[in-house]
Amino acid sequence: MAYLGNPAYTMAVLEKHGFHFQKKYGQNFLIDKNILEKIVDAAEIGADDVVLEIGPGIGTMTQYLCERAREVIAVEIDDKLIPVLADTLSEYDNVTVIHEDILKVDIRALAEEKNGGRPIKVVANLPYYITTPIIMELFESRVPLDSVTVMVQKEVAERMKEGPGSKHYGALSLAVAYYAVAETVAEVPPACFVPRPKVSSMVIRLTCHREPPVAVADERFLFSVIRASFQQRRKTLVNGLNNAPWIPVDREEITRCVESLGYGPSVRGEKLTLEEFARLANLLWGKKKGMKGSHRA
Ligand code: SAM
77 lines ligand 1 (CB under 6 A): yes
43 backbone φψ class: left, alpha, beta (φ>0; ψ -120 to 50): alpha
CB 133 within 8 A of CB 110: no
Q: Where are the alpha helices (DSSP H) in 69-209?
A: 81-88, 107-115, 131-140, 154-161, 171-179
pLDDT in tens, 164-190: 988 889 999 999 999 999 999 999 999
- pLDDT category at 294 given cuts 50, 70, 90 is very low
State the pTM of this model: 0.92
Q: Ligand 1 pocket test: which of 13, 54, 134 has the largest number of ligand atoms within 8 Å of its C-beta?
A: 54
| Amino acid residing at 296 | R
The tally of CA atoms less than 13 A away on the side-chain side of residue 166 is: 13
CB 172 within 8 A of CB 140: no
Does 265 sit behind a cis peptide bond, omega within 30 degrees of 0 on the bond before it?
A: no
Q: How far is the CA of 18 from the centre of ligand 1 (A)?
A: 18
User: What SS3 state is found at 122?
Assistant: strand
pLDDT in tens, 53-73: 999 999 999 999 999 999 999
Q: How far is the CA of 23 from the centre of ligand 1 (A)?
A: 11
CB 115 within 8 A of CB 49: no
How many whole angstroms separate alpha carbon 198 and alpha carbon 26? Answer: 12
Q: Which residues does residue 296 pair with via DSSP β-bridges, in sequence order?
A: none
CB neighbours of residue 153 within 10 Å: 19
